[in-house]
Structure 1
């Protein structure tokens, strides 16, 4: 009998060791957040200038194209304004200068270069800024230029225009 009792105790000990221990658990939740703000950058480097090149003084309606590069947060609405340049009193009087003589030119938002395509800095109703939406990648924005006449003294003429992005 004694061996049966010992055997029973041994079996119970083995069962107790094999039985899972009672465990307790608890849980909680937490937030994971990020706040992404809209961002836009604009750049125009020398290779994207509006360069009319060398033309004969008899040339008319000389066209050129430059480019701005815009990078904005996806879905961010923006507008790009171009000022009057250093020599213009408004967008309709932009001029390149050699320091003495001035050659008129215009900048446009569309290749058609129509009067409704003039690119300026007026926002709102009747505005002449360029509107777009960010994609998260660099976007190439063409700038179309035209000088109506090259009938001016032989020289190198230039102007500096400031592009401003608002988002």
Structure 2
């Protein structure tokens, strides 16, 4: 064999050997999968943003049906149902007999879920059939809910009268 052919064969064999080695030097790979999870639970709040008081202001003792409103600020998980109950205050025996006091003198008033202020709109703490709580669904943002109030008559002794209502949210 000529030397030229021998060199050519050796070069060809070297190239084949190099490519063959290159094929076997690739890194091996493997794959797997995993889950990513979260469980979100409902949350509601009515105390982060303070409520607006129902302040009837100052009126003569001859006034009737004195109306005003306040608001509760509710922030609940989107689409999460909730109810809000209002208690009887410090001087009422039920939602229909709320009274503001100045010593032993009591002035009746009422709180309502709607501006129409009808007997069916009285806001109380009874749940279930015939309930008088406010029912809503969360939006994920703080939402003001009006609390409508009425003093049917101011024919009472001169003075400042007050009561405290506790609002309870259930979700």
TM-score, normalised relative to structure 1: 0.91
The aligned counterpart of 2:122 is 118
Residue 39 of structure 2 corresponds to residue 35 of structure 1: yes
1:15-54 equivalences in 2 (<5 Å): 15-16=19-20, 19=23, 21-43=25-47, 45=50, 48-54=52-58
Give 1:155 deviation, angstroms. Answer: 0.6
Aligned partner of 1:156 among 140, 151, 160: 160
DSSP 3-state at the match of 1:153: coil
Q: Which residue of 1 aligns with 2:111?
A: 107
Counterpart position of 1:2: 6
Number of corresponding residues: 166
Task: Pick the structure with greater CA Rg.
Answer: 2
- Aligned-residue offset at 1:17: 6.1
State the Cα RMSD in Å: 1.8
Please give the alpha-carbon distance, in whole angstroms, between the structure 2 residues aligned to 1:98 and 1:72: 37
145-154 or 6-15: bigger deviation: 6-15
Matches within 5 A, 1:57-76: 57-76=61-80
Alignment TM-score, normalising by the size of structure 2: 0.89
Matched, 1:86 2:90: yes
| TM-aligned CA deviation for residue 75 of structure 1 | 1.2
Match of 1:55 in 2: 59
Q: State the alpha-carbon separation in 1 of the partners of residues 91 and 25 from structure 2.
A: 87
List runs of 5+ in structure 2 lacking aligned partners. Answer: none
Alignment partner, residue 151 of structure 2: 147
